[in-house]
């Protein structure tokens, strides 16, 4: 870690990135660093040094490292986000990307940090799917309407959740971002989106009952069941 702290000040951006990537607690293609998952304090001086790095390549690694930390120490990452917020456009991007897992999970603390509050005045209507039977390797399209009960200055984070059938016969939810915008001076809006069920190296599909949900500021507000077939 002392050597990585030195690398964080190296002239080569590949070496600076190594300083951040090399101490990520939960690299997807490497062994988890369990001591750092429990206590990431030794990582923080490196990330502090790299948060203003001129290379986007390095800044993205800083965001990914913080996202790893957020999975076990969410309050720590939110405290860092509060401290770094407003330093600059690039640093604001880092903290937003770093909090992506917390936002997808619907963390009220994370959502409120970015001014996304409970959508009391928002209604989701007319959720429709192009088909309620979809083959694996196929795709479907869905649409829905957002309505505001009143004209107000409200920030919206719109996502959809898919409850995928797993090999064990249980469902697990994956959340996908659609858009973020302000509803000010807009009473209603129609959103259309498509989703592919093409097999990926990171996701294998299984036939069975699935569910689509529409999520507004972390709250599931509409649901539609459909069948994925072999």
* Last residue in a domain, options 66, 82, 113: 113
Share of the chain above pLDDT 90, in %: 89
- Model-level pTM greater than 0.95? no
CATH for 198: 2.60.40.10
Instruction: Let me know the angle formed at the C-alpha of 66 by 54 and 171, rounded to the nearest 5 degrees.
Output: 130
Asked whether residue 51 falls in the same domain as residue 144, the answer is: no
Asked whether residue 87 falls in the same domain as residue 147, the answer is: no
218 membership: H or E segment, kind and range: none
* Last residue in a domain, options 113, 139, 172: 113
Mean pLDDT score, 110-126: 95
Mean pLDDT score, 141-150: 92
Asked whether residue 16 falls in the same domain as residue 104, the answer is: yes
pLDDT tens for 149-193 read 877 789 999 999 999 999 999 999 999 999 999 988 677 899 999
Q: What is the pLDDT of residue 195?
A: 97
Asked whether residue 224 falls in the same domain as residue 141, the answer is: yes
CATH for 29: 1.25.40.290
Asked whether residue 109 falls in the same domain as residue 144, the answer is: no
Asked whether residue 74 falls in the same domain as residue 177, the answer is: no
Asked whether residue 69 falls in the same domain as residue 128, the answer is: no
Asked whether residue 106 falls in the same domain as residue 142, the answer is: no
Asked whether residue 94 falls in the same domain as residue 140, the answer is: no
pLDDT tens for 32-44 read 999 999 999 999 9
Asked whether residue 108 falls in the same domain as residue 147, the answer is: no
Asked whether residue 108 falls in the same domain as residue 176, the answer is: no
pLDDT tens for 4-55 read 999 999 999 999 999 999 999 998 888 999 999 999 999 999 999 999 999 9
Q: What is the pLDDT of residue 185?
A: 67
Q: Residue 57's pLDDT band (boundaries 50, 70, 90)?
A: very high
Tell me what the pLDDT averaged over the chain comes to. Answer: 95
* Last residue in a domain, options 84, 113, 142: 113
Asked whether residue 25 falls in the same domain as residue 109, the answer is: yes
Q: How many beta carbons lie within 10 A of that of residue 221, not counting itself?
A: 18
Helix, strand, coil share (%) of the chain residues, nearest 5? 35, 35, 35
Mean pLDDT score, 78-88: 97
Hunting for tokens 């036939």 — which residue is that? 207
3-state class of 189 per DSSP? strand
Range of 101's domain? 2-113
Q: What is the pLDDT of residue 184?
A: 82
């Amino acid at each position: 870690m002392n050597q990585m702290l030195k690398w964080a000040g190296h002239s080569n951006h590949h070496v600076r990135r190594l300083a951040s990537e090399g101490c990520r607690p939960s690299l997807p293609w490497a062994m988890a660093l369990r001591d750092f998952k429990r206590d990431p304090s030794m990582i923080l001086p490196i990330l502090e040094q790299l948060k203003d790095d001129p290379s986007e390549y390095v800044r993205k690694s800083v965001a990914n490292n913080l996202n790893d930390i957020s999975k076990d120490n969410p309050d720590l990452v939110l405290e860092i986000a509060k401290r770094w917020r407003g330093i600059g456009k690039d640093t604001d991007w880092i903290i937003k990307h770093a909090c992506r897992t917390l936002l997808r999970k619907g963390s009220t603390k994370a959502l409120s940090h970015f001014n996304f509050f409970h959508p009391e005045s928002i209604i989701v209507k007319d959720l429709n799917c192009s088909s309620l039977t979809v083959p694996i390797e196929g795709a479907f399209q869905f649409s829905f309407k957002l309505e505001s009960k009143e004209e107000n200055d409200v920030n919206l984070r719109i996502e959809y959740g898919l409850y995928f059938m797993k090999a064990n016969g249980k469902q697990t939810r994956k959340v996908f971002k659609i858009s973020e915008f302000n509803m000010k001076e807009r009473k209603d809006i129609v959103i259309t989106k498509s989703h592919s069920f093409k097999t990926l190296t990171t996701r294998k599909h299984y036939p069975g009952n699935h569910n689509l949900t529409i999520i507004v500021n972390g709250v599931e507000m509409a649901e539609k069941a459909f069948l994925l077939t072999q």
